[in-house]
């Protein structure tokens, strides 16, 4: 549930958390937690500081915990430090505009203080990792930066690679011709590495497992398209038509844990 509010002249000069406390009927500590969890938007932008001093005529959108109860995601793993959330395709990981659904907002509404560790595209389904608390966040960020968190994706692609295993390491950067796209091998691109294994072959398509070693924007989609095997349903990078983008974050492993997500039916059928 999203509650929309507007400040008046009498509210000017009031700290955000104190104002939310009185308007929502919650404690000031609870209001502060909601702001820090990213559940509050101020004039269309996510608020981060509970002490922000308000002005008259400002617009607020508050994502309340009731929204999470109707969420279409599931918990694939949970302990005191880590959450692995299985996200459906079509749900953005972070908010794209004030008032829209976003996985990180819904997760933080249910587990205050939970923070996102990495992202997947809106149209990609599957596993996303969250840290619970500052100590866990530092530990897991360090593991991510040193390659101790392993991310495996399933992709259905056009054509069948000749070899069972591929190492795709073209650099990736923005496409100068199209701001929506990234491009492999572009001048000034960042190093990127995807490790590909062919699971199944058919005459005109293949099911791949791809380990994402680095984490560049659209990395798997760009690397596979550049290799001549675009993902089915990928309208940006030339994939053949399909009911959706057939890319799924299937398995995550990290120091002390792992999570898996079953292959979506529309992918297994193809």
By the 8 A CB rule, do 51 and 40 touch?
no
Question: What CA–CA distances, in Å, run from 250 to 174, 190, 209?
Answer: 27, 25, 9
Beta strand pairing status for 205-212 and 194-201? Answer: antiparallel
Letter string b/e over residues 103-125, b meaning 16 or more CB atoms within 10 A of that residue's CB: bbbbbbbbbbebbbbbebbbbbb
Mind telling me the catalytic residues?
Answer: 121
Handedness of CA 9, 11, 15, 19 (dihedral sign): negative
The DSSP 8-state label assigned to residue 243 in this structure reads: S
Here the tokens at position 261 are 């997500």
Residue 31: count of CB within 10 angstroms of its CB = 25
Q: What is the chain's Cα-based Rg?
A: 21
């Amino acid at each position: 549930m999203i509650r929309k509010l507007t400040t008046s002249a009498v509210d000017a000069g009031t700290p955000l958390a104190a104002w939310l406390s009185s308007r929502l009927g919650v404690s000031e500590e609870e209001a502060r937690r909601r702001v820090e969890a990213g559940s509050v938007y101020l004039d269309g932008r996510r608020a981060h500081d509970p002490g922000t001093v308000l002005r008259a005529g400002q617009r607020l959108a508050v994502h309340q915990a009731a929204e999470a109860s109707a969420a279409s995601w599931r918990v694939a793993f949970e302990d005191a430090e880590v959450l692995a959330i299985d996200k459906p395709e079509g749900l953005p990981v972070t908010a794209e505009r004030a008032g829209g659904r976003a996985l990180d907002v819904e997760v933080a509404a249910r587990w205050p203080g939970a923070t996102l560790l990495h992202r997947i595209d809106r149209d990609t389904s599957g596993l996303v990792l969250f840290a619970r608390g500052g100590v866990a966040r530092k530990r897991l960020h360090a593991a991510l930066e040193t390659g101790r968190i392993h991310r495996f994706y399933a992709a259905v692609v056009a054509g069948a690679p000749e070899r069972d295993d591929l190492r795709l390491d073209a650099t990736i950067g923005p496409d100068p011709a199209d701001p929506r796209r990234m491009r492999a091998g572009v001048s000034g691109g960042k190093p990127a590495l995807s490790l590909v294994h062919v699971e199944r072959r058919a005459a005109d398509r293949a099911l791949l497992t791809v380990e994402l070693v680095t984490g560049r924007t659209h990395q798997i989609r760009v690397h596979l398209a550049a290799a001549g095997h675009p993902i089915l349903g990928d309208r940006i990078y030339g994939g053949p038509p399909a009911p959706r983008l057939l890319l799924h974050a299937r398995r995550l492993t990290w120091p002390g844990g792992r999570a898996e997500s079953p292959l979506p039916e529309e992918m297994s059928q193809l």
